[in-house]
């Protein structure tokens, strides 16, 4: 890893944690400013997308009638892994959230735990 990459990552980390103000990057030269600014935009977009998906799962959970969580196990006869899948039932259909196929599985899992308990 090169020195400027380390400095870039630390700067982005400090800005995202609030230790350095966003205005500080305006004092950098154009090259460094563009590198940090582009990565900050990616980070901001990922945070925004994650918060948006939390809101969408909250809205979707209003219509849930039942939730089942299939906990992981290993079937010794077939030598297959069965992962934590979430089965969501609504009044009209059944939806399955697969652990390794859905990137937002963790959000559904936390909401399903809230629904069950």
Q: Please enumerate in sequence order all residues whose Cβ is within 8 A of that of 67, keeping only pairs 6 or more positions apart, or say none.
A: 86, 87, 88, 89, 112, 115, 116
> Which has the higher per-residue pLDDT, 59 or 69?
59
Q: What integer pLDDT is reported at residue 76 of this predicted model?
A: 66
> Mean pLDDT across the stretch 18-32?
86
64 pLDDT tier (thresholds 50, 70, 90): very high
66 pLDDT tier (thresholds 50, 70, 90): very high
Kind and range of the H or E run holding 17:
helix 3-17
| Structural Rg of the chain based on CA atoms | 21
Q: Has residue 49 got a pLDDT over 80?
A: yes
58 pLDDT tier (thresholds 50, 70, 90): very high
Q: At what angle do helices 3-17 and 30-60 cross, to 10 degrees?
A: 50
Q: Which of 12-16, 30-34, 46-50, 76-80 comes out lowest in average pLDDT?
A: 76-80
Q: What integer pLDDT is reported at residue 69 of this predicted model?
A: 87
> Mean pLDDT across the stretch 75-95?
79
Q: How far apart are CA 88 and CA 116, in angstroms?
A: 11
102 pLDDT tier (thresholds 50, 70, 90): confident
């Amino acid at each position: 890893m090169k020195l400027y990459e380390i400095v870039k990552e630390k700067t982005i980390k400090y800005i995202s944690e609030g230790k350095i103000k966003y205005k500080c990057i305006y004092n950098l030269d154009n090259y460094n400013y563009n590198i940090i600014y582009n990565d900050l935009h990616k980070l901001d977009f990922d945070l925004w997308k994650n918060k948006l998906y939390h809101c969408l799962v909250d809205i979707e959970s209003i219509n849930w009638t039942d939730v089942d969580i299939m906990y992981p196990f290993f079937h010794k006869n077939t030598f297959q892994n069965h992962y934590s899948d979430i089965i969501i039932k609504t009044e009209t259909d059944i939806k399955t959230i697969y652990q390794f196929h859905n990137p937002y599985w963790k959000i559904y899992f936390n909401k399903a735990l809230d629904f069950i308990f």
